[in-house]
Structures are given as structure tokens and as C-alpha cells.
Copies of this chain bind each other. A is one copy, B any other.
Amino acid sequence: MQLSELSERSGVSAASVKYYLREGLLPAGTPVSARKAEYDDDHLRRLRLIRAMLSVGGMSVSQARDVLAVAEDPAFGRHERLGIAQYLLPPQVTPPDPAPDAAAHAAWTALRAEILALLRDELGWQITEFAPALDTLTRALTTLRDLGYRADVAFLQRYGEALRPIAEAEYQVIEEIPQVEEAIEATIAYTVLYEPVVLALRRLAHEDVSARLHPGTPNPGTPD
């Protein structure tokens, strides 16, 4: 197909397709004349992945390029390929710099190590020390403590135990996709797009718990 058809079938504008070609995210088509090239289904699939990385996943073009480099390199296994995509998703929390505030840096490092030890030792999770989600957890607990709320590392065990069965069921869908590019695309889409689902259901569960603790009282938002 020509670029115009590729644009139409993928729903990606021709200008964006040309930009991805220039940036090397999308491989060049097969030249058929001095000014025309042919594109195929691999290009369509790649455009879906690019859209997942940039729009759904919120990655930068250079992060997307990193994911593609790993996806195409036969030296990397499937676990690594999907892992690198997940590791590059926002939020990317930066630990405090040791230079201006050595105490804050040391406290961060100690708390992060405590969290990792809990997840590995108490939950038995096989996770690397490089996982950015460890920094997200460290920041969340630090913020809670700074604001004067209790935030024990031990609390995390309960959350982890409750979330593990969801994660297993979710991952089953990814595992059944044989093609790596499609699996990466699905990893990004499911990771990001189900996040509001998890958070919204947690809030609704709170409402149910509160309603049961206070039976017979009117509900929030009930019209007069």
C-alpha cells in the first residue's frame, strides 16, 4: 500500500507517518519509484505499537526508540523485551540528588532497600532492583510521612497480596500473544489503560465499605 493508504488504515496522519519514518521509528518502505514507496502489514503493526508507546504510554520518541531497539535485538528474551517497555512508562520518579541533600538521599536509599526486601522476602516476588516502580513506592511513602501520615513499609504486603491475582490474570492475555511487537503494544495498553479501572473500583469499594458501616443513612449525591 502507499503512504496515504497506510495513514488511512492506521488512523495516523500522513504528517506523523513521515515524522516516524524520519525519526527511524518506522522502517522505510520498499521504493517503487523515485518518489513512491510501498508499505505492508508490518508497517501497520509497527504504527499501532508507536501509537501505544507515544499516545497511550506517554513515552518520548527517544524512549520509544529504546523499546524498539530491544524489541528487534535477538539477544533479548521476551521477559526483557516486555520489561523494558514497562520500565519506560511514566511515572519516572527521580530520587533526590545526594549533592544538595545528603540526608534525604540516604533516607530515600534506605527506604527503597527496605521496600525491595519486603517484596522479595515476604511476598517472594522476583523483581529487579532497577524497577522504576520501586522509586514510585519510595516517593509515595516519603510524601505520606512528610505530611504526617502513618506509612509503614509492612502495609505494602497487604496491597501486594491483593493485587498479585489481578496481575496474573492480566498477564495471561499478554502471554498468549505470540508476536513480540504486538505483545509489547498490549503490555503498554493494558498497563496504562487499566490503571483508571483499578483506581475507580477502589473508590467504589470504599463507598460500599462506608455504606455498610453506616446503614440507613442517606448516600452522597442523593437528590433531596
Residues of chain A having any CB pair with chain B under 8 Å:
56, 76-80, 82-84, 86-87, 89, 91, 119, 123, 125-128, 130-131, 133-134, 136-137, 139-141, 143-144, 147, 149, 156, 158-160, 162-171, 175, 186, 189-191, 193-214, 217-222
Contact = CB atoms under 8 A, between A and B. Distances in A.
Contacts of A194: 140, 144
How many copies of this chain are found per oligomer?
Answer: 2
Nearest to A85: B220
Given A77-B218, A80-B219, A204-B133, A211 B167 contact: no
Nearest to A160: B201
Contact of A222 (B119, B128, B163, B220): B128
A167 B212 CA distance: 13
A175 B211 CA distance: 12
Best-surrounded residue of A76, A86, A167, A217 (most CB of chain B within 10 A): A167
Given A134-B204, A158-B165, A164-B205, 19 more contacts: A79-B214, A80-B220, A82-B220, A83-B207, A119-B204, A123-B208, A125-B208, A126-B212, A128-B220, A130-B220, A133-B207, A140-B194, A143-B193, A147-B189, A158-B169, A166-B205, A171-B209, A171-B210, A171-B213
A193 B137 CA distance: 10
B78 A217 contact: yes
B199 A199 contact: yes
Contacts of A209: 164, 167-168, 171
Contact of A198 (B159, B168, B189): B159
Contact of A79 (B134, B200, B220): B220
Given A130-B222, A219-B128, A166 B204 contact: no
A185 B221 CA distance: 19
A6 B140 CA distance: 27
A195 B201 contact: no
Contacts of A203: 86, 89, 131, 133, 191
9 contacts: A79-B210, A86-B207, A123-B208, A126-B208, A127-B204, A128-B207, A149-B190, A158-B165, A171-B209
